[in-house]
Structure 1
Amino acid sequence: MKNKRIVVAAAIAALLGTSGYGLYRAGMYRGQKMAAPVPAVVSQTADAGKKVLYWHDPMAPGQKFDRPGKSPFMDMQLVPVYAGEAGDDGNVHISPRVQQNLGVRTAVVMRSNLASAVTVVGSVAYNERAAALVQARSNGFLERLYVRAPLDPVHKGQVLAEIYVPEWVAAQEEYLSVRRMQGNGMDSLLGAARQRMRLAGMSEAQIGAMEAGGKVQTRLAILAPISGVVSELAVREGMTLMTGAPMFKINGLDTVWVNADVPEGLAAEVSPGNAVEARTPALPGTVFKGKVSTILPNVDSATRTLKARIELANPSGRLAPGMFATINFSSAVRKNVLLVPSEAVIRTGTRSVVMLAQGEGKFASAAVETGSESNGQTEIRSGLEVGQIVVVSGQFLIDSEASLSATETRVEGAGSAPRPATVSQAGAQTHRGEGIVERISKEEITISHGPIASLQWGAMTMGFKVPAAGLPGHIAVGDKVVFEIRPDQDGAFEIVTITPAVAAMKMPAVPAGAAQ
């Protein structure tokens, strides 16, 4: 009797199992959602000690939801993302071993004083404000020339040339004749004769020399008005001179100019009156001090630089025009500013970014606004706080190692409309699943599959793209299959491999409601 009860119980259990499976198959064929088990990841929402940042659909990870529920995109439950997980926005996880291989170095964001020092290059030139031009003051003949080559040095009062001016000779003879005359009213005539010599072009010194000697000076000396070098020589011995013709240009060397090329972006750091220090390779160890005379109102369209005219004292004449010089501008010290090493800042052309080290192998990118830069330090106006740790070396290798571009995209999108997942975010790895073939078309195969842990998918019915080579000929509707999928360039999943779970097992379709 006992054995009979056991046999009857086993038969009832088998009948109920077959009926349940038939109902499940019938529901799938009608395209209805069956009561699939909730994925294991959903149950994690109740895990103690973990903060849920948001919920998302793994098939569309860019869309975020503030509460759990059913995905509007697929027939599955939303999956939570916890703080500190790999899915946390802006985080890149790199193992300590990889960090060591990449040579990652970090520095702490701190507040300090920043002395803005601008270093530029320039060339020495004549001080054009210390130049003198010697011209012919009357028509005459150049009888003797004492300076015969450009750049000859001269000193003030040195004789440059001797000329014969017929008009000057006549004026001198008239003056001497009046002076030898006696009688009343001679003083006015003498003054008129002296004025005629002045109008002829004679200087007071030349008139004085003639009066002291008491006889006509047939040759008149042209003297250097300042000390320096003859930068331009326009006459030769024996030439006929016309009134106003240039003869010599003399440039003084007591002071010189340095025309420094200041980048357009640093123009705000340089202003007239700034103290400067100049150094030249020709005189190692020598520092010349001066100040900015003026900023020329012109930007070179090719180099995008402005000219800063700097005046330097040159008492010994060691600075020669044409010398190369390095100029250091000193400006006011900025106090208590936020600083990071300049090498930590990645400039993309449209914005500046730094990599933040968050501990436990996590890194995140942060957009910053930079200010002045000096002595290897860059001012941070916004985007960082004191005490944060930035990556100083290896940040570009982190970019290559962990697809920094995708991380930056997520950081940019924080607080704005979420972006759809990209192929690079999903990866190109394959994912394994098991299920039952529901429909087969030319381009798609529909499978009712169980949970796929690697994608954090629950059980559902969905379509997959057929491989380019097509499905194996022995796959048919109703087969229980084992398959592998991967995302394509469009983000859709396609079948990589598919085989029957049990080669000889085929399950006939059961009409809805047939199993009771």
Structure 2
Amino acid sequence: MELFMRIDRRLLFAIGIAAVSAAALGYAAARIFPLSQLFNSAHATVQNTVVQSAEADADTDAKYTCPMHPDIVQDHPGTCPICGMTLVKLANGETTKHSDLVHVDIETQQRMGVRLEPAAVTDMHRVINTFATISQDESRTVSVNSKVEGWIKHWYVQGVGQTVHKGQVLYELYSPELQQRQREYLDLLTRRDAMQEKNKGMEMSGPNVAMMGSLAKERFRVRDRLLAADIPRDELELLEAGRRVQDVMPVRATQNGIVTATSAREGSYVNPMQQLLVYTDNSRVWAEVTVFPDQMSWLKNGDEIVLTSGLDNTTQLKSRINLSTLQIDAASRTAKLRLPLSNVGDAFLPGAYAKAVIKSGVHRTLSVPRDAVIRTGHGEFVVVSEGNGHFRSVPVAIGIEDENSVEIRSGLTVGASIAVNGQFLLDAASSLQAMQSRLAPNPKEAEHKADMGPAANALPISSAMPMPMSMPLRTSAHP
């Protein structure tokens, strides 16, 4: 019993000494290190540990992408395997959006035949492409009618289309009426010669002078009637010299031309009411240019028009528009401009067609080559080079057009480098890339489907198995 009591006293004494020592040490530490500093240090240590852990988690979840190829996404820094650009880090929660740029390296561009030209400000003309009909010049057309009654002794015109020359004999006419006129003229010539012979060497007195004047007037009147009957002057001079009536009188062409109509033959009886033939001089013709109503406001006096022959497609004539000849056709609701053409030869014959190109006044504007514009049902586009082999399809609003250029009203700036050859392949690549962008799933939707499991990819019953709108009815009896 005494032994246990002795051990308890030793244990209590040791505990007391430990307590006193701990109190002394705590008092000394409090004097040297304040208590608030110890708590702040411990809090900072814990906070740094949490931040470092969060940064480590963020670095683990960081994504890097290519600015030109957003479909390239990696979990570590590096370069794009397509274009070699340095990958950039995506911000927290940021998703990649597909770009409308297409990258084509230099070698591929050469194989595709891509050619670039800058958009520039040029002088353009509003161009009207239309057609013209060539017609005869009515003032150059000759209609041949016999001035007296008679019969055609010889007919030298073969038919329509024959070329005749000035002074050429068209036909020979036998006419008793014309013979009588010749006799009257010869009788007047005989009376004049007899009076001159009677008064030869004598001074003309009053009655003789009056008679000579009357004979001269009658002679000139009959002579004019012979000329009006289409008797050539050389034949009339031959009549005056020979004093002999000609039974058959030739009728000659008064100008060059081409026969367009004929209605007589050898032996035909003719009179002044009958038209024998028509010939016209095609060295001067009319071009009737057709213009639609919405194009009339574009025309101005003096605008240049170029006509290309529809017969050989090579001969061209240039002229100027004169709006005073403009006529409206109420039946066809079109306008017609008449242009005189001279010395056209055989390229612009009456009845033929010609291509007409009307160029309006100069208009200075931003333009691109016609081949650079891609025309679709959704509008017009051009392919713009962004440099370093990157291309973008840009919608544009176009204006007037000419043979080589198209006006750009909006969508481009001066100096923009555009593709004028191979742009269809580039635009196709851009469209394919845009389609891939629409088909690519959203990262958040992909994570949601992954959490839901295979059921997320299953189609709803209504879409997987569409119900028919109606069931067919069997009308025949069962066998």
Give 2:265's aligned residue.
Answer: 236
> 2:132·2:356 contact (CA, 8 Å) conserved in 1?
no
Aligned counterpart for 1:346 among listed residues 360, 374, 386: 374
Cα distance between partner residues in 1 of 2:232 and 2:292: 51
Aligned counterpart for 1:365 among listed residues 394, 408, 430: 394
Structure-2 change in CA distance of 1:289 and 1:323 (3 Å): same
| Aligned partner letter, 1:227 | N
Aligned counterpart for 1:111 among listed residues 112, 117, 121: 121
> 1:108·1:388 contact (CA, 8 Å) conserved in 2?
yes
Give 2:22's aligned residue.
Answer: none
Secondary structure, in 3 states, of the residue corresponding to 2:453?
strand
Deviations 1:259-297 (CA, angstroms, capped at 9, x unpaired): 77889998747966737586798698xx66553576774
Cα distance between partner residues in 2 of 1:308 and 1:455: 71
Matches within 5 A, 1:267-306: 268=298, 274=304, 276=306, 290-292=318-320, 297=327
Give 1:385's aligned residue.
Answer: 413
Give 2:476's aligned residue.
Answer: none
Cα distance between partner residues in 2 of 1:387 and 1:493: 56
**How far is 1:425 from its partner?**
9.0
| Aligned partner letter, 1:243 | P
> 1:370·1:382 contact (CA, 8 Å) conserved in 2?
no
Which ranges in structure 2 are unaligned for 5 or more consecutive residues?
Answer: 1-57, 68-92, 196-207, 465-479
Deviations 1:151-199 (CA, angstroms, capped at 9, x unpaired): 3333212221111233323333334445545675564476457546756
Give 2:153's aligned residue.
Answer: 143
Give 1:93's aligned residue.
Answer: 101
Give 1:202's aligned residue.
Answer: 229
> 1:428·1:487 contact (CA, 8 Å) conserved in 2?
no
**How far is 1:142 from its partner?**
0.9
Which ranges in structure 1 are unaligned for 5 or more consecutive residues?
Answer: 1-39, 45-49, 51-78, 408-423, 432-451, 465-479, 497-516
**How far is 1:95 from its partner?**
3.5
**How far is 1:399 from its partner?**
4.8
Cα distance between partner residues in 1 of 2:175 and 2:216: 21
Give 2:475's aligned residue.
Answer: none
Cα distance between partner residues in 2 of 1:357 and 1:168: 89
Aligned counterpart for 1:482 among listed residues 453, 458, 468: 453
Count of aligned pairs: 350
Give 1:170's aligned residue.
Answer: 180
| Aligned partner letter, 1:202 | A
> 1:113·1:333 contact (CA, 8 Å) conserved in 2?
no
> 1:293·1:310 contact (CA, 8 Å) conserved in 2?
no
Answering whether residue 443 of structure 2 is matched by residue 453 of structure 1, we say yes
Cα distance between partner residues in 2 of 1:105 and 1:347: 19
Answering whether residue 229 of structure 2 is matched by residue 219 of structure 1, we say no
Cα distance between partner residues in 2 of 1:326 and 1:104: 37
Aligned counterpart for 2:341 among listed residues 291, 294, 311: 311
Normalization by structure 2: what TM-score?
0.54
Secondary structure, in 3 states, of the residue corresponding to 1:94?
strand
Cα distance between partner residues in 2 of 1:288 and 1:251: 23
> 1:171·1:193 contact (CA, 8 Å) conserved in 2?
no
Normalization by structure 1: what TM-score?
0.51
Cα distance between partner residues in 1 of 2:437 and 2:313: 63
Structure-2 change in CA distance of 1:270 and 1:484 (3 Å): farther
Structure-2 change in CA distance of 1:494 and 1:288 (3 Å): closer
Of all paired residues, the percent bearing the same amino acid is 21
Structure-2 change in CA distance of 1:348 and 1:428 (3 Å): closer
Give 1:506's aligned residue.
Answer: none
Cα distance between partner residues in 1 of 2:461 and 2:417: 40
Cα distance between partner residues in 2 of 1:235 and 1:248: 7
| Aligned partner letter, 2:274 | A
